Amino acid sequence: MTIDLGRHGIRESDDPTIPGDYVSPVTGYETNSLIENPANLHQPPMVFDPYQSTRLRGPRNKLVPVASSRTERTAPVYGFHNIGRMDNDLTIQHDGQPLGEKIVIVGQVRNDAGQPLPNTLIEIWQANASGRYIHKKDQHPAPLDPNFTGAGRTFTDENGYYKFITIRPGPYPWGNHHDAWRPAHIHFSLLGRAFHQRLVTQMYFPGDQLLEIDPIYMANPSARARDLLIARFDRRFDVPGIALGYRFDIVIGSPRATPFE
């Protein structure tokens, strides 16, 4: 499968660094990139008090640093999903059209050396346009959509690109604190070609007023890392008259330690 990147193509760049003080291109906020440089400051902490579920679930002991062995550097070929050609289109899984705003999400999966990661399994799941998950434990009294399940999967192509067609999920209230609302988001899960290439994250939408008051999104101390969880509105990927395009690239880090053996 090769993903059509649209009529404008994809620009190449070999300059991933942003020197000096960092001003968010999304929110306009300034952050000093120098104090953010250590890699572990670009990931959320294990316990982040405003996100209440972390209080009893995040380990309190330091992670034990280890070198990787062959077990960490290998991974299966994923035979457990019999992925259909259309599994990346969440809008055609039922007889009728789902409610909501149809969107296209295109992105590239790379490692932290900038190399594209082909043949990477991406699984997504999300709420419907009303902010309701089909999950049986979701108690939000918003309506289910009989034409929308909200789960999709695909592999990246030979250049690391993927594409999903779905609808924009709605925000929804949750029980973390009084009148808490999650910003609209889509869950992403990636399995690479090594056990350590594992990522579960969430994609957010530009301009969402709920982001700055969301304890899950804000748990990452790095403004730059948070920004990169927000898809870019990108009309190169529009299906004209049908769906608006977004770009969401994903970077999978490498282990820091030197392998033993």
Residues with a catalytic annotation lie at 133, 172, 182, 185, 187
164 Cβ contact list (under 8 Å, min separation 6): 88, 89, 90, 104, 105, 124, 152, 154
Rounded to a whole number of angstroms, the minimum distance from the CB of residue 61 to other proteins is 6
CA distance 6 to 3: 9
242 Cβ contact list (under 8 Å, min separation 6): 102
Rounded to a whole number of angstroms, the minimum distance from the CB of residue 43 to other proteins is 6
Rounded to a whole number of angstroms, the minimum distance from the CB of residue 238 to other proteins is 13
Specify whether the CB–CB gap between 140 and 132 falls below 8 A.
Answer: yes
* Cα-to-chain-centroid distance, residue 129: 18
Sequence length of the chain is: 261
Rounded to a whole number of angstroms, the minimum distance from the CB of residue 86 to other proteins is 14
Q: Is 195 left (phi over 0), alpha (psi -120 to 50) or beta?
A: alpha
**Considering all CA atoms of the chain, what is the largest pairwise distance in Å, rounded to the nearest integer?**
56
Residue 2 or 17 having the CB closest to other proteins: 17
Specify the residue for token string 């994609």. 203
Rounded to a whole number of angstroms, the minimum distance from the CB of residue 185 to other proteins is 8
Residue 99 or 251 having the CB closest to other proteins: 251
- E-strand ranges in 113-256 read 121-126, 151-155, 161-167, 172-174, 180-182, 185-191, 198-204, 232-233, 244-247, 250-252
Residue 180 or 229 having the CB closest to other proteins: 229
Residue 163 or 226 having the CB closest to other proteins: 226
Rounded to a whole number of angstroms, the minimum distance from the CB of residue 114 to other proteins is 5
CA distance 205 to 186: 9
**How many beta carbons lie within 10 A of that of residue 198, not counting itself?**
12
Residue 6 or 206 having the CB closest to other proteins: 206
Residue 99 or 187 having the CB closest to other proteins: 187
